[in-house]
Amino acid sequence: EVQLVESGGGLVQPGGSLRLSCAASGFTFSTYWMTWVRQTPAKGLEWVASIKEDGSEKYYVGSVRGRFTISRDNAKNSLYLQMNSLRAEDTAVYYCAKNGDYDLDVWGKGTTVTVSS
């Protein structure tokens, strides 16, 4: 069974950092692009970042570029999102997703990030 399990969410103060992880199983992780998407009640679903199979290409939404870093460890079947200089507007449920053919065909259950003092 294809599965994605996120972890690392929590409460952090503005300006702080957090590292999200996503453990993948049930498919050949190293052969797929991977993506982080976040969801808030106010803004809905928002694509955050994507990374190529070998990590050689990375893309970010403008609002996080320079603050967030997507990475992966194919030996550990894991995807990461390092989030620095966090702001209140980064508060969201963060989902890890497997890329299909320019779509997102498998999603994790999500991890909640709250940025508040």
Size of the site for another protein (CB under 8 A): 19
Whether the Cβ atoms of residue 50 and residue 33 lie closer than 8 Å to each other:
yes
Whether the Cβ atoms of residue 24 and residue 79 lie closer than 8 Å to each other:
yes
Q: Using the rule CB under 8 A, is 87 a contact of another protein?
A: no
Whether the Cβ atoms of residue 68 and residue 81 lie closer than 8 Å to each other:
yes
User: Quick count: other Cβ atoms within 10 Å of Cβ 47?
Assistant: 14
The span from the CA of 3 to the CA of 70, in Å, is 19
Residue range at the interface with another protein (CB under 8 A); choices 7-15, 17-25, 73-81, 108-116: 108-116
Q: Using the rule CB under 8 A, is 61 a contact of another protein?
A: yes
- Shortest gap between Cβ of 11 and another protein (angstroms)? 21
CA nearest neighbour of 20 among 74, 79, 60: 79
Q: Using the rule CB under 8 A, is 109 a contact of another protein?
A: yes
- Shortest gap between Cβ of 20 and another protein (angstroms)? 15
Site string for another protein, 26-45 (x = CB under 8 A): ------------------xx
Phi/psi for 74 (5° steps) reads -70, -25
Closer to another protein by Cβ: residue 44 or 56: 44
List contacts with another protein (CB under 8 A).
Answer: 44-47, 59, 61-62, 95, 100-110
